[in-house]
Structure 1
Amino acid sequence: MTVSTFSAAVHITPTVIKTLYTHGKRKAKKLKNGDEKEEATDDIFFDEAFHIVKSFILLGTKNTVESLQAFTNTHVPAPPWTAVIPVRVPLHSCNQAADLLIQWFGPEDLKRVVGGERWWQVRGLDGIDAEWIAEKSHLRPESVHIDAGRRYSEEERLLMSMEQLETTMLYIHGGGYYWGSINTHRYQIIKYAHKIRGRAFTVNYRKAPQYPWPCPLHDVLAAYLYLIQPPHDAAHKPIPPSKIVFAGDSAGGALCLTMLTVLRDLGQPLPAGAVLISPWVDLTHSFPSIRTNTATDIIPPHGFMNKPSVLWPVDPIEGGGRVARAHSDPLLKPCRADIPGSDKHVTRHTAQVLPTDAGKKSDSTPVGSKHQLSSNSALSIPLKSQKKSSFFDGGKCDLTGRGHGRSRDQNGNGSNTIPMDELAVNRGSVSIPNLDDIDFWQPNPPKVLMKNPGDVPLEIRSQIQHYAMTEQLSHPLVSPILQASLGNLCPLYILAGDGEVLRDEIIYLAHKAANPAEYPVREGVIRDGLRQKENAHKFCTPTKVHLQVYDGMCHVLTVFTFTSSADYAYNSIAEFAKHVTQRSAEYLDRNPFPVLQPIPGSDVPSCAMNDRSGDILMIRERVDIHGRVRFMEPKEDITALQLRPSEIGIIKEETLFKWLEGQEEWDRRFKYCATKVMKNRKTIEAKSKSIIKKARQRGLSLVGESDDLVEMPIVGRSNAVYGAIQEDRRWGPLDLVDEEPPPTAIAARRDTREALALLKKSIYHTAPTTHKTIPRVKTVDVVLAAFDPNDAPFRHPRQSVSEQQVRTGMGYIHGMRIWQSIVSRSGRKVAVKAAENTRRVGDALMETGDKAASK
């Protein structure tokens, strides 16, 4: 069963009933015990909504990636009181963004880390779907200057009237980088537009795994350039960066932050500010809360996994094991890990370093379960353990990285060990005998940091995240927590839930941005990135940060719009957006954040950290379930801030086992499905070869090829609609011969239906400039396309659901629209109740005042 409104209802209904029962039982127990402690789940609406969202996300993991993407990318109509204007960010802006990324990476990293400069520029649509959103009551269409000689559509008039709105929010939606859309988040964005009395712009960026990193980053960067440097035919005027504020949740929040670092590094104008809501900034899951907060968050306990399909995972039948003992001392260098079924990657990186007697017993022994991985004493592997590297032999490094200052031996006595944090680039000059030894105590993915230094390191053989390959997870543009510096950015307003699994990395992120010198990146990241080494010394000015952690809230608290916490968050975000876009630069330099709510008993609005001149650098607060603010505890009492740089951005043994347990369960549950998937891939791949062969026979010719390659004369013109070679479309699926895209990228694949649709569109409809000809289509192909649900006879085939919205006549009864109706109704009830309570409190105060006056 695919993800649909019906399947979601069937799956969620038992959750609703169970939550109602357990909620009443828990409240009765608290009442009986006289427990007056307030919790977010005391509110039945939040308790139900929390478990509904958690249940839905779990449902998504039991279905294919394509099914979840299609459901969450289904077009849903907007309410009539809002002005929602669909537009498309053109290829021109996409090319501008691509040029910036090419400049950022440089030729060496483009080839070594990214896999080339072409594949991530290939797309199915002629741009990026986007929307302008504003509230109609804020617009004044009658005051818009209209050219008397031209007729305007209603959408054009609305868009022109939006020019009067001063604040513009560029919103980047979340969804783990692989699901969600402008449709899932439209109602939240409408609320922001209402609160800021401005306009919002949001984009349907391409999703992984079909379009993995850096495709989403490429698209959101193009959206920003489209706002500040629109093409001559754009419907809007250029928007000054000082009038734009970035905002995003989860993966969207991380994309906002990553985009800021790219713009900063290249000297491009930054926006006025950025709102990061539960940003996912560490894809290696190296912080403690990823394990401790599972029960209090909506994220599945084993992370995002899915039922096997032709698209994902890369190899649903892991014959060689998902995890194996490391097969060589030198770690695999980016950018290719040992992908199951692809022996060339193993050979290319390790053939010259394997021991001569390796053939007797493989040193890449696959290990199939957590139990096997936990016991390696019987294995005889010719490989140094982490403890045996030359850096440890000299007694110069503490692998565990626990505690500050001088390390201690087993008896608790001080030793001469250099603390890990002093090995970071900003912590002075330390002589490291052999930089290659960093790989043992700071192992980059796919290697795993072992809990016991004497154990042989493990190596991950599967892609564990949809967004990027395992060996790319420690790249600073994938996990921005590993940026050498987060200084010199625009003001950041960062929100986190105290119960979410990402809490620790968000808290660390905020402090790292506000204190670049105090929270340096680990040495291994500096060694592997020349730009990071430069940035560590170049961007030393602290970024001004406002951090708020919300009691009892889970991941992306703004989803639960009816709660007091979310209501306070929306108001605070709106005040921040208006503050940074409507104040002068001189004023913002000393007052980067608005005065939101004074803390009782304090003369200052918050717990602020100031520099020597008195300017605010960081505001640190906690917010209770009623939206009341208090001071955050000292940094010394926050566990996340006690981690050393050497412990961050590394896949650890405990995290690996947590993922592996879930993956093993999915392998058992969908074993038959995985076998069927492999057969389907072969069928689709054969069809792809046939399409390319026929196109060649019908006149397909590429730039640089001889016309002699055409095997048959071009056939006569049929009744099919023909495409054209687009000047702004640089590359297509047939232009990637010398590149090494990630194995999930459909630009280079030929074994999925979506890759097939992309190939057909590139050949017959919207060809890149590398094509010299558009092949003709025979009548028989038009007839066959009419009977193919994945094709179309007179228009290009529908593109990937990770990019193109699904259109349906059932929009008004779609699950997302129903959810929003329920949330809105609950929100109105809560708002009425809150207003009534406020009125009662006011009446009581007035009555008290009258009595005091009479006395």
Structure 2
Amino acid sequence: MKWTFEDIRFGTETTFHSFFDVFFIMPVTTVSSAVHITPVVIKTFINHGKRKARKAKDRSDERDARDDIFFDQAFNIVKAFIEMGTKNTVESLQAFTNTHVPAPYWAVVSPVLIPLSSCNHAADVLIDWFGPEELKRVVGGERWWQVRGLDGVDGEWITEKEYLSPGNRNSEPPWKLNDTDADILRMETLETVMLYVHGGGYFWGSINTHRYQIIRYARKFKGRAFAVNYRKAPQYPWPCPLQDVIAAYLYLIQPPLGSLHKPILPSKIVFAGDSAGGGLCITVLTILRDMGLPMPAGAVLISPWVDLTHSFPSIVQNTSTDIIPQHGFLAKPSTLWPVDPQPQGGSRITPATSNPPPKPGHADTLRPSQGRIIKDTADNRYHHSGGEQVKTQVEMLDGRDTDDLETPNSRHDSNRGAIHGQNLRQSSSKSIIKEGIDDYDVDFWEPKPPKVLMEDPDAVPLELRAQIQLYATTEQLTHPLVSPVLQGSLGNLPPLYILAGNDEVLRDEIIYLAHRAAHPAEYPVRRGVLRDGIRQQENKNKFTTPTKVHLQVFDDMCHVLTVFSFTRSAKYAYRSIAEFVKHVTRHDPEHLKHNPFPELHRPPSEISPQVEVAERHSPFLQSGIRPTSESQSGDDHQISDFDTQMFRRNQANAEEEVKYKYTDAMPAPHCVSERTSDAHDSHQTVAKDIRNIGMIRERVDIHGITRPLESPEKIPALQLQPGQIGIIKEAPTIKWLTGQEEWDKMFKKSAKRVTERRMKCERKAKRIIDNARSQGLVLDRDTSEGNYQQNLLQTLSRVGDDAAGIQDDRRWGPFDLEDETPPPTAIANRHDTPEAIALIKKSIYHTAPITHRTVPKLRTSDAIRAAFDPKDDPSKAPQQSVSEQQVHNHILPIHGLRIWDGIVRYFGKKTSQKAKSGTKQVGEQLGIINLD
């Protein structure tokens, strides 16, 4: 399907929203979620019945995951909730998903605060990684992303209560500890640690949304987990979350003074994360590798989001089968987001107005400064209506002047023009790159954001005039630390276990990431990335050792299949993740170098899950008839042996697949990366591991049974050429624009009000700052010798309660960003949102950075205003951004996240009963079992 800009901007088709959607959209709360989701539940029941009737009428034997009414309901509930979030403000969704939820009684959850010292250590690592030039050109400086509201990062130690039996209690310390601190000490006997990084599109979710999943992991691998509540975009955009995840890891392996836990060996730590969390995990691993820091034992990546440019086909093809909203993560306008509540100049995407793509990383690319416009116009880089006519994509490719070219590889000569000339006008960028032409113009065959690569080479390219992702600016999306699929090399990393749903929109990028890691030489990064990043050039040649990878693609599963924990697919995933974690943390690096896969370990590791006695000896388990779900007790504390059965069966499947590859005469480089002379012999002795396997590639059906993944030649994602990856393309761009224009129409009045609120906030921020100055605020940059207040007010710097004062470990604050160009959404540099004002007040009166010389007194008028503001307080620090600080709800004791857990456990029991009933009927008919 082809689009033109006119079709997009002036199309006659308009989506009309219901009266309810437009006029009765409530903030994201437990009540509003119930109101929104109830009709979805009813509709799903009706449609499910119709669907089954059609299958029966057509006598179709084809089964899929949504044949199970409970999965069908859960899928539509989650999808409806996320879609509801897109019709609310970003702050509303963040607040709901970052509301503190008490832990279940069978678990131990001990909250901690990762201190500023660990955050500073992480910042130093990132500063060294970027270097001064990239920090200024791409990141926008080294200070703004270190500004935070809290005194560190929220984290949680998590494990099962039964693992902290009295027999595991350490001797009582000489000082009296509260229960939380005592539990942290009691966890010391659990050596294995999972560092979990939650998902949520980089802008929502929290340790609260994922706590029940994390508890399940800790129970299955019989260890402890550490969850990190990193700062979220758009208030704290890239690289803020990276800093926080690195800080969490350094906090574990190098605990600062005063920490209760002992240093944890990196070889006992496994990274794990889903969606955005998976993307953060793989990115942090590359940073640790590049900086020569100790690496963890391995990483589990569940549906990792690793390509924020959306350059793979599944991002468009799998929209209808995934829980991710059709048009991406849109939102009702607020003072926070989007950057422009109303489109500037009539549209968020326009035909190109300049021939060369803008340089990456410039914070003013979308709004050039006057000086830069003059300079670029002189360099023939901007062509306005009175200048050179804007060319088509092909004309740009085939007719650039040599003055516009900046690298030897992109110089246009007469031979190149003679060879390609007319052919370029009749072909797409895909065919050009696949033909193997080595001297193509990187600037145009690999256009940088905000340019969009068009499907029709005769079309004038589009340019984005809006930020399309909340995590990073459009110009930053191609940076390897934003989209890690674009890393110069993914080699030399610890073992990876990567899971994807076959029906999710991120499927292709996940499959490609896994193959790039396992086969660095076969899947190189595109040339533009290497040209623009010196470190990536070095990494390509420096890190050539293939990473050991186990990739599994789950049939009929959507994004983050582990959310649907009652399904057979998820139960197998939890068990196999646990076995991977145990395997890589219980064997030394030399052993893992040859075999990081528990499925190939001989003799097989012992699996001893908690099993109900009645189920342990159930005849149908011994008969070979397998139910579709394991039964769960009401508290989800006791589990059956079904996931163990699945893992054992799939272990045998993996062994058979490896045997087949070894005994077959044809090599299989994508399944077996290395082969030794005794590899075949290792199969004859069960006591020996199956060694030197570089990659396991599998599909998992809806019953949790594995089979080999198709050969790479049959997987479309693996046929993409490097030059096509990490490019903003036409189809996903139009998909986003279509939705955004709907939202612009639906929330037109809200957008106008947002502009007024921003102006009001700016006036309030100015008044607070002016009042603080009049009351004695003095900063380091105030070096005037004639400052008559300085000596008098210096004594205020450490006056007040213990929580107030200048913090030596807090390096920077909102007033320390001279000469920096933060992203437009960054809270550190804003005065036009309530959250930014809260950060300003906290930085002035409560937790001043070391760059402040004084902590002034609060002006009486401001104290009175704070007393009447429900979100402020005249004597305490105001609540910080909900993207950072958890919300404690004192009104409703029941939160939607706890309700969801109850729904999941209910579905699990009902699915188990349904499975047992079907198994009983089949068994009785065959004369195998009689459960009566």
Same fold (TM over 0.5): yes
Q: 1:239-282, CA deviations, whole angstroms, 9 ceiling, x for partnerless residues?
A: 00000000000000000000000000000111111000000000
Question: Is 2:753 the partner of 1:727?
Answer: no
Q: 1:569-611, CA deviations, whole angstroms, 9 ceiling, x for partnerless residues?
A: 0011011001111123332222211114455788526674231
Distance of 2:568 and 2:180 partners within structure 1: 35
Name the amino acid aligned to 2:561.
L
Q: 1:205-259, CA deviations, whole angstroms, 9 ceiling, x for partnerless residues?
A: 0000000000001100100000000012101011000000000000000000000
Question: Is 2:757 the partner of 1:680?
Answer: yes
Distance of 1:820 and 1:843 partners within structure 2: 35
Query: Conserved in 2, the CA contact under 8 Å of 1:493 and 1:545?
Result: yes
Q: Quick one: structure 1 residues 722 and 782, their matched pair in 2 at CA, closer, same or farther if it must change by over 3 Å? A: farther
Correspondence for 1:442: 446
Correspondence for 1:590: 594
Q: CA deviation at 1:788?
A: 1.0
Question: Is 2:852 the partner of 1:771?
Answer: yes
Correspondence for 1:699: 776
Correspondence for 2:517: 513
Question: Is 2:569 the partner of 1:492?
Answer: no
Q: Percent identity?
A: 59
Distance of 1:397 and 1:609 partners within structure 2: 43
Correspondence for 1:327: 353
Q: CA deviation at 1:825?
A: 1.7
Q: Quick one: structure 1 residues 688 and 619, their matched pair in 2 at CA, closer, same or farther if it must change by over 3 Å? A: same
Of the structure 1 ranges 445-454 and 328-337, higher mean CA displacement relative to structure 2 is found in 328-337
Distance of 2:516 and 2:228 partners within structure 1: 29
Correspondence for 2:697: 620
Distance of 2:321 and 2:746 partners within structure 1: 26
Question: Is 2:176 the partner of 1:151?
Answer: yes
SS at match of 2:752: helix
Correspondence for 1:821: 902
Q: 1:20-78, CA deviations, whole angstroms, 9 ceiling, x for partnerless residues?
A: 10000000111121101110100000001111111111110001000010011111111
Distance of 1:471 and 1:579 partners within structure 2: 41
Q: Quick one: structure 1 residues 825 and 358, their matched pair in 2 at CA, closer, same or farther if it must change by over 3 Å? A: closer
Question: Is 2:840 the partner of 1:739?
Answer: no
Correspondence for 1:651: 728
Query: Conserved in 1, the CA contact under 8 Å of 2:238 and 2:472?
Result: yes
Q: Quick one: structure 1 residues 731 and 383, their matched pair in 2 at CA, closer, same or farther if it must change by over 3 Å? A: farther
- Any residues of structure 2 matched to 1:87-486 within 5 Å, and which? 87-147=112-172, 149-320=174-345, 321-336=347-362, 344=370, 347=373, 350-354=376-380, 358=384, 360=386, 384-389=395-400, 419-420=433-434, 430=438, 432=439, 437-486=441-490
Query: Conserved in 2, the CA contact under 8 Å of 1:421 and 1:646?
Result: no
Distance of 1:501 and 1:601 partners within structure 2: 28
Q: CA deviation at 1:447?
A: 0.9
Distance of 1:62 and 1:361 partners within structure 2: 43
SS at match of 1:818: helix
Q: CA deviation at 1:776?
A: 1.3
Q: CA deviation at 1:518?
A: 0.3
Q: CA deviation at 1:360?
A: 3.5
Q: Quick one: structure 1 residues 594 and 665, their matched pair in 2 at CA, closer, same or farther if it must change by over 3 Å? A: same
Distance of 1:239 and 1:845 partners within structure 2: 54
SS at match of 1:610: coil
Name the amino acid aligned to 1:764.
Y
Correspondence for 2:548: 544
Q: Quick one: structure 1 residues 828 and 847, their matched pair in 2 at CA, closer, same or farther if it must change by over 3 Å? A: closer
Question: Is 2:593 the partner of 1:568?
Answer: no
Q: CA deviation at 1:833?
A: 4.5
Query: Conserved in 2, the CA contact under 8 Å of 1:387 and 1:453?
Result: no
Distance of 2:282 and 2:92 partners within structure 1: 29
Q: CA deviation at 1:827?
A: 1.4
Q: CA deviation at 1:723?
A: 1.3
Query: Conserved in 1, the CA contact under 8 Å of 2:97 and 2:205?
Result: yes
Distance of 1:276 and 1:248 partners within structure 2: 6
Q: Quick one: structure 1 residues 333 and 408, their matched pair in 2 at CA, closer, same or farther if it must change by over 3 Å? A: closer
SS at match of 1:174: coil
Question: Is 2:672 the partner of 1:609?
Answer: yes
Distance of 2:69 and 2:252 partners within structure 1: 42
Of the structure 1 ranges 493-502 and 383-392, higher mean CA displacement relative to structure 2 is found in 383-392
Correspondence for 2:639: none
Question: Is 2:75 the partner of 1:50?
Answer: yes
Q: CA RMSD in A?
A: 3.0
Structure 2: 5+ residue stretches without partners: 1-25, 402-409, 600-646, 662-670, 680-691
Q: Quick one: structure 1 residues 727 and 34, their matched pair in 2 at CA, closer, same or farther if it must change by over 3 Å? A: same
Q: Quick one: structure 1 residues 648 and 138, their matched pair in 2 at CA, closer, same or farther if it must change by over 3 Å? A: same
Q: CA deviation at 1:396?
A: 5.2
Q: CA deviation at 1:352?
A: 2.6
Correspondence for 1:30: 55
Query: Conserved in 1, the CA contact under 8 Å of 2:392 and 2:461?
Result: no
Q: Quick one: structure 1 residues 720 and 593, their matched pair in 2 at CA, closer, same or farther if it must change by over 3 Å? A: closer
Query: Conserved in 1, the CA contact under 8 Å of 2:360 and 2:449?
Result: no
Q: CA deviation at 1:687?
A: 1.2
Q: Quick one: structure 1 residues 217 and 668, their matched pair in 2 at CA, closer, same or farther if it must change by over 3 Å? A: same
Correspondence for 2:631: none
- Any residues of structure 2 matched to 1:56-67 within 5 Å, and which? 56-67=81-92
Of the structure 1 ranges 280-289 and 655-664, higher mean CA displacement relative to structure 2 is found in 655-664
Question: Is 2:28 the partner of 1:6?
Answer: no
TM-score, length-scaled by structure 2: 0.83
Q: 1:114-168, CA deviations, whole angstroms, 9 ceiling, x for partnerless residues?
A: 0000000000000001111000111134443334632222222211111111210
SS at match of 1:733: coil
Name the amino acid aligned to 1:643.
L
Aligned residues: 815
Q: Quick one: structure 1 residues 157 and 450, their matched pair in 2 at CA, closer, same or farther if it must change by over 3 Å? A: same
Distance of 1:397 and 1:520 partners within structure 2: 27
Query: Conserved in 1, the CA contact under 8 Å of 2:398 and 2:417?
Result: no
Q: CA deviation at 1:824?
A: 1.3
Distance of 2:148 and 2:197 partners within structure 1: 19
Question: Is 2:670 the partner of 1:666?
Answer: no
Distance of 1:280 and 1:191 partners within structure 2: 23
Name the amino acid aligned to 2:76.
H
Query: Conserved in 2, the CA contact under 8 Å of 1:549 and 1:622?
Result: yes
1:788 pairs with 866, 869, 877, which one?
869
TM-score, length-scaled by structure 1: 0.90
Q: CA deviation at 1:545?
A: 0.2
Correspondence for 2:102: 77
Distance of 1:711 and 1:329 partners within structure 2: 55
Q: Quick one: structure 1 residues 25 and 47, their matched pair in 2 at CA, closer, same or farther if it must change by over 3 Å? A: same
Distance of 2:795 and 2:192 partners within structure 1: 55
Q: Quick one: structure 1 residues 395 and 189, their matched pair in 2 at CA, closer, same or farther if it must change by over 3 Å? A: farther
Q: 1:498-546, CA deviations, whole angstroms, 9 ceiling, x for partnerless residues?
A: 0000000000010000000000011100011000000000000000000
Q: Quick one: structure 1 residues 397 and 191, their matched pair in 2 at CA, closer, same or farther if it must change by over 3 Å? A: farther
Name the amino acid aligned to 1:68.
L
Distance of 1:235 and 1:349 partners within structure 2: 57
Correspondence for 1:373: none
Name the amino acid aligned to 1:801.
V
2:43 pairs with 18, 28, 39, which one?
18
Distance of 2:208 and 2:197 partners within structure 1: 12
Q: Quick one: structure 1 residues 590 and 791, their matched pair in 2 at CA, closer, same or farther if it must change by over 3 Å? A: same
Name the amino acid aligned to 1:333.
K
Q: Quick one: structure 1 residues 560 and 442, their matched pair in 2 at CA, closer, same or farther if it must change by over 3 Å? A: same
Distance of 1:838 and 1:203 partners within structure 2: 42
SS at match of 1:534: helix
Question: Is 2:807 the partner of 1:807?
Answer: no
